[in-house]
Structure formats: structure tokens, C-alpha cells
Structure 1
């Protein structure tokens, strides 16, 4: 996917092209690093979250032209994503 540059085909079609290809590529790279056959090469969850937060920040800035409070948006999103799941 990354080498072939076929990012468009893995992004939800409901976005209708309204996303940054650079952000999408970064998310795919993060996902690919998580499936390395060698456990030692896989990032830990804090690394993954930090990289996803950076990618989301880029997307928000590009979409809103820096008018939006990126810190507040990403913090509230990641707070809901990283909350413990009920068992």
C-alpha cells in the first residue's frame, strides 16, 4: 500500500476525498509498524497514540487553516479513544 501509493483505496469512501493524503499515509505507516512480525520492532501504545495525535493535528490544521484549537480537539478525541473499555 505504502510503496504503491494506493492510499486512496484504504480510506473510508464516506470522506469523499476530504482528507489530507499525507495524514492518511502517516496513519497507514503507523498501522504497518504495528504488524511487524518481530515483536521488538513494534511500537508501544504510547508511541502509537503520540504519532496518531500528531497526524490528527496536521489534519485539523490543514482543514481549518490553523483557526481551530488543535490541542483541545485532539485531547478530547484521544481522551475518549483511550478511556478504559468495560469488561
Structure 2
């Protein structure tokens, strides 16, 4: 789907096309860069946060149905895990 440039097949169909395809492509490219086997070429977490904030700002500025829906039914999501997770040595 990526090589064909078919962004509609990648996005959630429940969005009904209500998104900026440029923002979606930026997020997809960012995700792909995070998968690089070489840690030196992967983006830092600061870069990831910056890029995702840019995508969000782009989406927020364009308005659209999702912006209206978000303001009407904002939901807070929390995840709590009962166990500590620590990386294991390789």
C-alpha cells in the first residue's frame, strides 16, 4: 500500500476521508524512519514528538468534521499497567 501511494487503504475507514493526506504521509514516513535497524539513523524522541505535534497542528488548523466531533465529544484515555516493565539485556 505504501509503495502504491494508497493512503486511503492505510487510514482508519471510520475517518471517512476527513484528514489531511499530507499529515498522514508525514506520520507514516516518521513511523517508517523509527523502524530503521541502525539506531544512529532513527529519529530521536524529541524529533518524533516535534513531527507529531506538527501533524496535529496541521490537522487542527484545517478544521473539518473531525475537529467538530473532537470538541463535542472529547475523551481522556489513560493506560495503567500493574507490573513494572524493564528492558532485558540482549
Larger relative CO (CA 8 A, sep 6+): 1 or 2?
2
Aligned equivalent of 1:25: 25
For residue 47 of structure 1, report the CA deviation from its aligned partner.
0.7
- Larger-Rg structure: 2
More helix per residue: 1
Counting matched residue pairs gives 71
Provide the residue aligned with 1:59 in structure 2.
Answer: 59
Q: Deviations over 1:31-55 (max 9, x none)?
A: 0110011111001111100000001
Measured on the aligned residues, the alpha-carbon RMSD in Å equals: 2.4
1:2 offset after TM fit, Å?
Answer: 4.2
Q: Paired residue for 1:39? A: 39
Q: Which residues of structure 2 form unaligned runs of 5+?
A: 65-75, 85-90
* TM-score normalised per structure 2: 0.67
Conserved in 2, the CA contact under 8 Å of 1:2 and 1:29?
no
